[in-house]
Chains A and B, each alone.
Chain A
Amino acid sequence: MTAVLPSRPTAPQRPVGGRLIDQFEYGLDAPICLTWELTYACNLACAHCLSSSGRRDPRELSTAEAEAVIDELQRMQVFYVNVGGGEPTVRPDFWHLLDYAIGHDVGVKFSTNGIKLDKTRAAQLARTDYVDVQISLDGATAEVNDRVRGTGSYATAIRALENLAEAGMKDFKVSVVVTRENAGQLDAFKALTDSFGAQLRITRLRPSGRGADVWDELHPTMAQQKDLYQWLLANGDGVLTGDSFFHLSAFGEALPGLNLCGAGRVVCLIDPVGDVYACPFAIHENFLAGNVRDEGGFQRVWQSSELFADLRNPQTGGACTKCAHFDACRGGCMAAKFFTGLPLDGPDPECVQGYGETALAARDLELVTPRSHIDHSHTGPVRGQPTLLGMPAVPPAKICDESPLAGFPGA
């Protein structure tokens, strides 16, 4: 496989001692943030789905193959996995695999739209140790959420949250992708989450999967990024971010957490057919390192693939290394650059110093941004399909919308 990163001088040696982040740039013997997407099947058709999910792939790992992956993760001491999809709970063996993983010292955090979390399942989860549940919600109101996730998806998520709270589940999460349309709802999300005794998790929108089609329209504006940064500084303690907003650190004070791109270093994805990618947001052949079905399994891919070896070096060249904020921001997100057609050693498209906008504007008009050939999107209409697609662009926000009382009766 050809290198996807700008070629570097011969790999420098891993330093002894020093900061952890510098160690992480050289990779670890096993990932600490492994995402495992169990199926491409999904009952929804979210406009920004990072994995272009919808239809099951006939080559998806069988139950026995999935168990073998779990056995391997146990041997490698991967202490927990982030399970997603598609919608993982629509796999008939989902609950079996959950128990199997927990029984083999592999804790599970899974993301779901809530479709299967009825009272019985909620009670089952509340009784199980080592399982974390994240319910995806991309609007604090049905109106904002359903435009992106589809009609009825807000109600489904809220019902799941109610069931979990009622069952006495502890520490479950509400997981929000921050968009231009919900960036003003952060306090509302926090209040909603608190009302269920849950924890709020917010992450960054990347132009991955179908996200590429809506990124221009949905990614937060510069003003919203600034507000988000301030909000995180003020509320960071009580809110999880998966360290996904580290590019905002270039506004000034560094955000807490690991401020680096972990792709192939501490992060990776196992997709439903067993393909191993450098990051869940990088489902593209350029970031494909191997398959768990290959000889040597996942361990061999993680420890010996050429692609991952290539990613496990500090960045030494490129425009960003000359930036005063490079130590905090590290040039941002590799996937965001790749899918917007920007060079991987240059600024992030949402660079808070404004270099991303300049780079986006300077792209060749003829440039075709890279697209993944992996697409499991539903081909026909889906019940409750998001209205965002095919709608005229969002009208510019009116000044009066800035009023905290806008939209309230009597305001």
Chain B
Amino acid sequence: MTAPVAAVFDPALPWQKARSVALRPEPFGALVYHFGNRKLSFLKSKMLVAVVTSLAEHPSAEATLVACGVPETQRSSYLKALADLARSQMIELRSAS
């Protein structure tokens, strides 16, 4: 299997939940599983779940945070969480289509 290279996270670009990733709702947020690299990760708040699932509907990660109503003071920690998810290939860059 040729694993795609994890993209460097740029919040100004369009992202989406990776296609080989499944999301399982849990009382605290969600569990995310990557069927390709078999990594398991956790989304520790319902807000973060909303952000990850709606990434695909917005022109950029930054725009997604605004649309989901993430308070300004928390945006940097959400961007950090998204960068971690990009590193573990749970989210991927969306090519313009």
Contacts and interface: CB of A to CB of B under 8 A. Distances in A.
Interface of A: 14, 16-17, 20, 23, 26, 28-30, 32, 77, 79-80, 105, 107, 129-130, 132
Interface in B37-90: 38, 40, 42, 44-45
28 contacts: A14-B27, A14-B28, A16-B28, A17-B44, A17-B45, A20-B28, A23-B26, A23-B28, A26-B27, A28-B26, A28-B27, A28-B31, A29-B25, A29-B27, A77-B22, A77-B24, A77-B31, A77-B33, A79-B22, A79-B24, A79-B35, A79-B40, A80-B33, A80-B38, A105-B22, A105-B35, A129-B1, A132-B38
Interface in B1-37: 1, 22, 24-28, 31, 33, 35
Given A29-B26, A29-B27, A105-B22, A20 B42 contact: yes
A32 B40 contact: yes
Contacts of A20: 28, 42, 44
A379 B86 CA distance: 55
Given A23-B28, A29-B26, A79 B44 contact: no
Nearest to A22: B28
A361 to B, nearest CB: 41
A107 B45 CA distance: 26
B25 A79 contact: no
Interface residues of B, number: 15
A20 B44 CA distance: 7
Nearest to A28: B26
Given A20-B44, A79-B40, A30 B1 contact: no
B24 A29 contact: yes
Contacts of B27: 14, 23, 26, 28-29
Contacts of B45: 17
Residue of A14, A17, A79, A80 with highest tally of chain B CB at under 10 A: A79
Contact of B35 (A23, A130, A132): A130
Contacts of B28: 14, 16-17, 20, 23
A107 B25 contact: no
Contact of A32 (B1, B22, B31, B44): B31
A129 B2 CA distance: 12
Contacts of A26: 27
A32 B32 CA distance: 11
A79 B33 contact: yes
Contacts of A17: 28, 44-45
Contacts of A107: 35, 38
A13 to B, nearest CB: 11
Nearest to A78: B24
Nearest to A15: B28
Residue of B25, B28, B42, B44 with highest tally of chain A CB at under 10 A: B28
A14 B44 CA distance: 13
A251 to B, nearest CB: 27
Contacts of B25: 29
Nearest to B32: A79
A184 to B, nearest CB: 32
Given A17-B28, A20-B28, A23-B44, 7 more contacts: A14-B27, A14-B28, A16-B28, A28-B31, A29-B26, A80-B38, A107-B35
Contacts of A79: 22, 24, 33, 35, 40
A79 B22 CA distance: 9
A79 B35 CA distance: 8
A79 B34 CA distance: 9
Contacts of B26: 23, 28-29
Contacts of B38: 80, 107, 130, 132
A80 B22 CA distance: 12
Nearest to B38: A107
B2 to A, nearest CB: 12
B93 to A, nearest CB: 23
